[in-house]
Amino acid sequence: MRMQDPEEQQWQPNLEYGAYRASDSWQQEPEQAQKIQPQEERRLGGKILAILAIVLSSVGFFFTVAGIVASALVLHYASLAQGEVQQGGQIGLASSIIAMLAFTAIFVIAVVTLARRSGRIRRQL
- Determine the length of the chain: 125
Q: Can you tell me the distance from the alpha carbon of 113 to that of 125, in angstroms, rounded to the nearest whole number?
A: 19
Domain boundaries, the chain: 1-37, 39-124
What's the pTM?
A: 0.59
In this structure, are residues 20 and 11 in contact, taking their beta carbons and an 8 Å threshold? yes
Q: What is the mean pLDDT of the chain?
A: 77
Per residue in 60-102, pLDDT (tens digit) is 999 999 999 999 998 888 876 678 888 888 999 999 999 999 9
